[in-house]
Amino acid sequence: MQDVRIETCEELPAKGELNKILSQYYELIVQRMRAIGFDIDPAAPQSALAEFWENSDDYLPPKGCLVVARSEAGEIVGCGMMKCLGPDTGELKRVFVTEQARGTGTGRALIEARENAARNMGLKRLIADTLTPNIEMRNLYPKLGFVELDGPIETTTYKDQPSLRPHLHYFAKDI
């Protein structure tokens, strides 16, 4: 893969274009959940997409941020979102990089872009969670200054998916 361009979105990309990358993300999450023993409804990725679109305003200014990575051809090859959980805290959500863009620094760039957006919004802390099988994110967050926490924090996933709590890793970074 050649150069990747990171864009901070002021508005949502075209629905079909964003659904393509998010569908890949949700399929990977479902695959990883099944690997740790969850019986996941085959319709779960479509339900997750619908939930995203119902709450998509949470990921746009002034309440949040959405960043995408585009290939030289203009195709979205990565995404990442952030939403405010309070006056000082932002939560990183849905960071995903396609297989062809992995190993290129795209994931790092997506996190750094959201961190910069959070600072510009006046936030003081970023939090994130990830599933145990997500080795990529569990390795990347500490490299970017995030600290893995000993106990849970009330992320969106923690609140909305109690059955996942034993399989979540929590990260925080003061910015």
The verdict on pTM exceeding 0.95 is no
Topology classification of domain 5-124: Aminopeptidase (3.40.630)
For the cut 60, the answer to whether the pLDDT of residue 168 exceeds it is yes
For the cut 80, the answer to whether the pLDDT of residue 148 exceeds it is yes
Per-residue confidence at 2, pLDDT binned at 50, 70, 90? low
Q: How would DSSP label each residue in 110-166?
A: HHHHHHHHHHHTT--EEEEEEETT-HHHHHHHHHTT-EE-SS----HHHHH-GGGGG
Q: How far apart are CA 169 and CA 127, in angstroms?
A: 11
For the cut 60, the answer to whether the pLDDT of residue 14 exceeds it is yes
Per-residue confidence at 38, pLDDT binned at 50, 70, 90? very high
**Residue 41 burial by Cβ neighbours in a 10 Å radius (0-12, 13-18, 19+):** exposed
Tens digits of per-residue pLDDT, 96-147? 999 999 989 999 999 999 999 999 999 999 999 999 999 999 999 999 999 9
Average pLDDT, the chain: 94
**The two three-digit tokens of residue 71, written as one number:** 């290939």
